[in-house]
Each structure stands twice: as C-alpha cells, then as structure tokens.
Amino acid sequence: MNKTRQAWHFVPPILIVVLLVMMFDHSYAQKLPTAPDNRSETEDTGETGPAENGCRKYKLAAKGEMPSGISLGSLDDPSNITLSGTASMSDRTITLTDNLGQSGGAFYACKIELGGNASFSTSFQFRISQPMGATDNDKIQGADGIAFVVQTSSAKIGGYGGGLGLQGLEPSLGVEFDTWTNGWDADGNHIGIDVNGDLTSALALPVPTPMNNGAVWRAWVDYDGIGKQLSVRLSNGQNLTHRLDLEALLQSREAYVGFTSGTGSAGNLHQILSWDFIGQFAPDRFQPGTPSESHSAQGASAEETY
C-alpha cells in the first residue's frame, strides 16, 4: 500500500503538464461558438469574398438563375455610398451638383462581381431643378444632366460641364440623361448610351419634355447578360436598347455602380431621390408603388412626375 502511494506521489512532472493541457483544451472547446445551422454566413445573401473596407463584394445572377437577393433598396444608410467631387447626401437624397462648374459622383461602396452571364436591373428617381447660368439653343436655362455609370473605380469621376462627370472614364458604361446641346449632341434633351467615357453616344433618343423642368423623373436600366442587351426606359414611355458585352467592355469581373453629373457655365441642382438595384435581369421588378417610391421629394404631385 505504501509503495502504491509512493509511486503516485512521484508521477513524472511532464505527465502532469500533459494532463493539464488536455483539460484546458477540452474546456476551451466547450466554449467555442457554434453555428446555428449548417449554412455558411454568406449563403443566400449574394455576398462573396472577404470583407473589404467594411463591405463585401456582390455577385450578379445570370438570367434564369435564382435571384441573388441583392438589392441596394433605399438610401437609408449613407455609409453604403461613396461620394466624390461636389456630391453630398442628406435625408436619403444624393445631391451631385448644386452650382456652376462642378462635377460630382456617388457610387455604391461595394463592388459587384460580374459572372459569365451577369445581368442586373436598376431603377431610380431623379430631379433636375433650380436652373442657373447660360441658356442653350433650346432656350432653356440650365445644364448638364445626370448619368448612371458602371465602372471599375468607385471614387473616379470625369469631366465637368458637358462631360457629365462621365467623360474620360475608361473603361465604363454610362447611361446619360443629357439636358444641354454640346458639339457632339444632336439636341439638348435626350437619353443616350455612352461607352468608355465617350459622350458621342453609341445610341441616343430625343426626349420631348425637358428633363430639367424640376419634375421627378423615373428611369429603368436593365442588362440581359445572356442576350448581351442593355435596355433603358424613361417614365414618359420612351425606351432604347443596345447590344453590348459588359464584362468584355469593362475588362474586369468586378465593377461599381452609381451616378455622376456635371455643370459648366450653365447648371442645375442634380439629385437622386431613390435607387434600387438587383443582380438579376428583372425588368418588371421596380415599378411605381414599390417602397423606394416614397423617397421622392415631398409635395411632388402626379402631374409633376414623368
């Protein structure tokens, strides 16, 4: 009996250390957090890749695939928007320019990842008001308009004035809502599709009602990644389509989406009042009456909306 006790008292120190480590490891493992289910943290969210500067990259869904669930929704969170130039944001409204000789841009802060057949649909409301400065040949004061832009650098903006904050951005895709007659324009009030910051539009369509009339306008831009076709619609019923390969144009599988504007010797207050975006070809997704419609300026009547 005494020999047994003596043997226990002389357990090698290394064995005691091993026993303590095993007990600690077991206790630590019991305290590790466990996932609530078997899904990964990004499943069904459309998110992909590690967080980068507080946000994640988003992957677009091909036409016919399940929706990615990505929607920029409202403008409730200013941290979701990267502003540059003269752009500012307040009360869920983006102001791109508000004086003469300016250039401003506002882009969603996170990248979107273009798939092999990437598609998207977006809709937004804009208002161009408070004309100032010169008058062009249509006898309407104010300039120069707004552009919806897909580009590879979120904070980058182009030339002011007739450049719409878009001119010179390469590679890029721009959809312009132009309110001034420049040397490359057929008229002073049109929508157009611009490639690589070239304001000589690949395709343009005159708009009979001045878009800088202070009214709230709504636009839809839809890209079908399988058919390689871009469609632009305006709430007055006008539309245009243009075939292009967005991924080949951008020379990248990652891009930013947002808006630019510019003013020169003539100007306007250029504002984005609401914005929705989804990584899926869904041209009927955003219609009047959706939640973003309530973000339009107070007091805008039906007669004022085009």
The per-residue pLDDT for range 99-134, each reduced to its tens digit, is 999 999 999 888 887 766 778 889 999 999 999 999
pLDDT for the residue numbered 291: 37
3-state secondary structure of 78: helix
Q: Which two tokens stand for residue 62?
A: 């091909």
Residue 296 amino acid letter: S
Does residue 141 carry a pLDDT above 50?
yes
Residue 290: which pLDDT band, with cuts at 50, 70 and 90?
Answer: very low
Spatial distance between the Cα atoms of 44 and 47, rounded to a whole number of angstroms? 8
Domains parsed from the chain with CATH numbers: 55-304 (2.60.120.200)
Question: Are β-strands 203-206 and 190-195 bridged in parallel, bridged antiparallel, or unpaired?
Answer: antiparallel
Spatial distance between the Cα atoms of 213 and 131, rounded to a whole number of angstroms? 9
- Average pLDDT across the chain, whole number: 74
Spatial distance between the Cα atoms of 55 and 73, rounded to a whole number of angstroms? 16
- pLDDT tens-digit profile of 189-242? 999 999 999 888 899 999 999 999 999 999 999 999 899 999 999 999 999 999
Residue 105 near residue 258 (C-beta atoms within 8 A): yes
